[in-house]
Amino acid sequence: MGDRGKLGIGIDLVSVKRIERMVDRWGRRFLERVFTASEIDYCEARYAPAESLAARFAAKEAFIKAVSETGPPGIRYRDVEVVVSERGVPGLKPRGTAKAAAGESRTSLSLSHEGGLAVAIVIASPEVNS
């Protein structure tokens, strides 16, 4: 988050067709380079896998924007995992390069898709010690 005391906000919009084309062209190679095994399994079990994949891709991009003031700090996409709680609430599980970039920040995630587009918003807020 650059200055650890600042709020970081990231948003990204992804075309579902773009993700479909990437999967058609590169197949498992693309999926395994960008998504974790859990993300792939979750999306492939959905009615419209490309929508879920696009939303997760947008989340990864939004995370990078939220934690970096100067552009991508070498964060690997697979180090930003989108997880879903038992209640269906999406969240982020950063590790490796993503965890280092986020530092002590807490992240919140919102996802949506409609009309061939997927959007994600990430808020990275400084951890408050009381």
Q: Residue 124 pairs with which residues in a beta bridge? A: 8, 107
Active site residue 65: yes
Of 6, 60, 65, 93, which one is the catalytic site residue? 65
Write down all domains in the chain, each with its CATH number in brackets: 8-125 (3.90.470.20)
Integer angstrom CA distances of residue 114 from 2, 6, 15, 17, 40: 33, 31, 10, 12, 20
Active site residue 113: yes
List, in order, residues 6 or more apart from 88 with CB less than 8 Å away.
none
The model carries a pTM of 0.91
Of 60, 93, 99, 113, which one is the catalytic site residue? 113
Burial class of residue 128 (count of CB atoms within 10 Å of its CB; 0-12, 13-18, 19+): exposed
Tokens 């924007």 -> residue: 65
Query: Tens digit of pLDDT for each residue in 29-85?
Result: 999 999 999 999 999 999 999 999 999 999 999 999 999 875 556 899 999 999 999
